[in-house]
Amino acid sequence: MDRSQRKLDHIRHALATAEIGTNSFDDVSFVPNSLPNIGYEQTRLDTEFASFRLPSPLIINAMTGGAEATTQINQKLAIIARERQLAMAVGSQMAALRDPSVAASYQIVRKENPRGIVWANVGAEATVEQAQAAVEMLAADGLQIHLNVMQELLMPEGDRDFSGYLERIQRIQESVDVPVIVKEVGFGMAKETMLKLTAAGIKSIDVGGRGGTNFAKVENKRSAHPLSMFEDWGFTTVESLLEADRDIHAQASVMATGGARHGLDVIKAVCLGASAVGVAGALLRVVHAHPIEECLAEVDGWHHQIRVAMTALGLVQLADGVNTPLLITGKTAERARLRGRA
Ligand code: FNR
């Protein structure tokens, strides 16, 4: 399978299989506060994650690059990132590391947004040299290393050997001179995994949970022998955030991605301990179908929704969200109880 064709398949199937109905965020609700004692104008969206001071908690998370047709998507995403001061990650650069002729489809992101925060992205199979080259390709400010074991296993041409990942991640972390963020791609993360990462020196984790883009479904669409029984594999985003308890927060900053549909989901993730919230599928759908002005209006809408929720909860800063009481119900509560986290 041609890599650039795979990139286009991923976009097509991510758009077609998106889980835009209910998800784990619907199991989370707030205790109303009728006397918040603040005004909307006082609310602030700035946050800190992975030692980056960010004007917004929204992160345009890793999606694409590696094929001619992905250049336009990355260009549009980069314009949104620039105009709304959002940090942005590019899709896996493994394709460009093997075939430099496709590097421009990633570099467009830096070209459009020379002063913005841009994160490079590689898989945990990358060598130290490849990780460094990925950062250099974009003059990136940070490096994401993605973990996607189940996706690879379901991908017809995917990797089958996952040994040595933690050692390689540690070596990359020790040798690149930008912050390293280890992320899941939508199967969520257990505390046990996070502890292994922090023990290896990782200080920034994106729990990347189930509930939005489902790469088991995406790969099953591409496969002649789909394994549909794996489509519910993993932890949801809310379950993963509950896994990131005090022990984890003492050692790492945590962000969440997976199924954020609007600003209310973002503030829920923040109150569950996320310092920033990644968005992929929801933005891809907007970028795919709408001109840039409408994409910017969508981001403005999310920012407004976050500030409406902050006002109603009496939160001036996002960092205060961790002290907000939450009600967790349904399957999320049941599963969290089994893990001793409710
Ligand atoms: C992704 N994602 C992803 N992640 C990564 O680390 N490297 C990659 O190359 C890609 N590629 C990719 C392609 C497409 C089309 C999508 C939609 C997503 C995963 C992404 O960053 C995110 O973790 C998941 O999509 C979950 O977030 P959403 O989509 O539910 O908001």
For 12-44, what is each residue's pLDDT tens digit?
A: 999 999 877 999 999 999 999 999 999 999 999
What interhelical angle do 292-313 and 281-289 show, nearest 10?
140
CA of 37 to the centre of ligand 1 (A): 39
Q: Give the residue carrying structure tokens 């296993």.
A: 153
Q: Residue with the nearest Cα to atom 27 of ligand 1?
A: 258
3 vs 107, which has greater pLDDT?
A: 107
Instruction: Measure the CA–CA gap between 98 and 188, rounded to whole angstroms.
Output: 28
N-term to C-term CA, the chain: 44
- Identify which of 231, 227, 239 has the alpha carbon closest to the alpha carbon of residue 213: 231
Q: How is residue 223 written in tokens?
A: 């496969």
Instruction: Measure the CA–CA gap between 302 and 263, rounded to whole angstroms.
Output: 4
Instruction: Measure the CA–CA gap between 133 and 15, rounded to whole angstroms.
Output: 30
**Complex-level ipTM beyond the 0.95 threshold:** yes
Q: Give the residue carrying structure tokens 């929704």.
A: 305
Q: Residue 152 above 80 pLDDT?
A: yes
Q: Please give the average per-residue pLDDT across 119-130, as a whole number.
A: 98
Q: Please give the average per-residue pLDDT across 50-63, as a whole number.
A: 98
Q: Residue with the nearest Cα to atom 21 of ligand 1?
A: 62
Q: Residue with the nearest Cα to atom 15 of ligand 1?
A: 11
- What pLDDT score does 141 carry? 98
DSSP-derived 3-state class of residue 327 = strand
- What pLDDT score does 1 carry? 61
pTM: 0.98
pLDDT confidence bin for 342, thresholds 50/70/90: confident
For 190-230, what is each residue's pLDDT tens digit?
A: 999 999 999 999 999 999 999 999 999 999 999 999 999 99
HSE at residue 147, side-chain half, CA atoms within 13 A, is: 24
Is residue 209 in contact with ligand 1, taking CB distance under 6 Å? no
Is residue 208 in contact with ligand 1, taking CB distance under 6 Å? yes
For 85-96, what is each residue's pLDDT tens digit?
A: 999 999 999 999
Tell me the backbone φ, ψ of residue 23, rounded to 5 degrees: -150, -170
Is residue 217 in contact with ligand 1, taking CB distance under 6 Å? no
Measured from the Cα of 185, ligand 1's closest atom is: 23
Beta 28-30 vs 326-328: how paired, if at all?
Answer: antiparallel
DSSP per-residue codes, 236-247:
BHHHHHHHS-HH
C-beta separation of 96 from 106 below 8 A: yes
Residues above pLDDT 70, as percent of the chain: 100
Out of 17-21, 278-282, 287-291, 308-312, which region has the weakest mean confidence (pLDDT)? 17-21
Q: Residue 10 above 90 pLDDT?
A: yes
- What pLDDT score does 2 carry? 78
Instruction: Return mean pLDDT, the chain.
Output: 97
Q: Please give the average per-residue pLDDT across 112-138, as a whole number.
A: 98
Is residue 234 in contact with ligand 1, taking CB distance under 6 Å? no
C-beta separation of 150 from 230 below 8 A: yes
Q: Residue 291 above 90 pLDDT?
A: yes
CA of 168 to the centre of ligand 1 (A): 22
- What pLDDT score does 4 carry? 85
